Amino acid sequence: MSQHRPAGTPGRAGGVPALPDLPEATVARLPEYLRALHNLAETGDDTVSSEELATAAGVNSAKLRKDLSQLGSYGTRGVGYDVALLIDQIEFVLGLTQRRAVALVGVGNLGHALAGYAGFASRGFRIAALFDADPAQVGEEINGLVVQHIDDLPRVAAEESIAIGVIATPATAAQSVADQLVAAGVTSILNFAPCVLAVPDGVDVRKVDLAIELQILSFHEHRKSALTGLPAGAVASGPAASGAGTALTAPATGLTALPGGLAATGTTEATPAGPLRPSNAEAIGS
């Protein structure tokens, strides 16, 4: 969201004891803690220390404790956190106490897979309807749901109280679909199409772009091979010429040969490859 905060009204205001504004970074990690907690609960653990839970969630314990303290969370000093209690807390904060209805638009390749993804159901969501613009797809049954025409969206969205939409259409269709979702009352969108969506204020959009993830990895690959391959100068290949004008100086300017400092720009907390390997019954796929 853009929404430059009105600059006043930070923490508490009236007499409400609320701790409102969870940092966005914390919000993004809570689901990971939740998953780890469910694993622990399955294996019968009653309490867990910040250290254990942190490892299971792939973060460090300081971060975890700070995150949980934001919830005003109830750990016990000297003991740890009550697993069941913490699950309830996080589920409450994330709004998962109700099973939320989701509309999925676009039942192509990826849409099909998403429609059949068991992880949504097991983690708080119910795919309530499938839509497509292609009449050839309409009527098909996937995983017990019949694909409906996108024009039926407003009616179905109202009937099913759908507030979250998933876009799995080609990029060309995505903006139009987003407009229709918003018109139908959807206020949160998960977008798998590789394009930027314009939406009104108050509507949240998250984007997942599969190719972008790979491109980020590619950067790190490039970086690593620049390090190991050629310790100093001598770049192997410049950019593949694609018809640009001026000579491509910048690549030659550097960026390829790194001096000394080793990459700190990484992506994951590379845990020490050992003990903990939380199993999880949830399957992606068939």
Partner DNA sequence: AGGTGTGAACCTTTTCACAGCT
Partner DNA sequence: AGCTGTGAAAAGGTTCACACCT
Q: How many CB atoms lie within 10 A of CB 67?
A: 25
Total residues in contact with DNA, by rule CB under 7 A: 29
Query: Is 107 marked as a binding-site residue?
Result: yes
Closest CA to 226 of 198, 194, 259: 259
Tokens 């100086």: give the residue.
249
Site string for a copy of itself, 235-264 (x = CB under 8 A): --xxxxxxxxxx-xxxx-xxxxxxxxxxxx
Residues 6+ apart with CB under 8 A from 126: 99, 100, 101, 102, 120
Applying the rule CB under 7 A, the residues between 247 and 286 that interact with DNA are 264
Total residues in contact with a copy of itself, by rule CB under 8 A: 165
Q: Which stretch binds DNA (CB under 7 A): 71-79, 101-109, 127-135, 275-283?
A: 71-79
Query: Is 182 marked as a binding-site residue?
Result: no
Q: Is 141 in the site for a copy of itself (CB under 8 A)?
A: no
Applying the rule CB under 7 A, the residues between 130 and 189 that interact with DNA are none
Q: Is 229 in the site for a copy of itself (CB under 8 A)?
A: no
* Cα–Cα distance for residue pair 268/95, rounded to 1 Å: 27
Query: Is 191 marked as a binding-site residue?
Result: no
Question: 44, 77, 78, 95: which one contacts a copy of itself (CB under 8 A)?
Answer: 95
CB 168 within 8 A of CB 192: yes
205 strand-pairing partners: 189
Applying the rule CB under 8 A, the residues between 169 and 208 that interact with a copy of itself are 169-172, 175, 187-190, 192-208
Q: In terms of CB distance, is 68 or 127 closer to DNA?
A: 68
CB 101 within 8 A of CB 126: yes
CB of 227 to DNA, least distance (A): 18
Question: 53, 168, 177, 181: which one contacts a copy of itself (CB under 8 A)?
Answer: 168
Instruction: Locate all alpha helices (DSSP H) within 94-170, ordered by sequence.
Output: 109-115, 118-122, 153-160
Q: Is 216 in the site for a copy of itself (CB under 8 A)?
A: yes
Q: Is 24 in the site for DNA (CB under 7 A)?
A: yes
Q: Is 43 in the site for a copy of itself (CB under 8 A)?
A: no
Strands, E assignment, 49-200: 75-76, 80-82, 100-105, 125-132, 141-142, 145-149, 164-167, 188-191
* Cα–Cα distance for residue pair 42/83, rounded to 1 Å: 10
Q: Where is the binding site for NAD(+), in residues? A: 106-111
Binding region for DNA (CB under 7 A): 4-5, 23-26, 48-51, 59-63, 65-66, 68-69, 73-81, 264
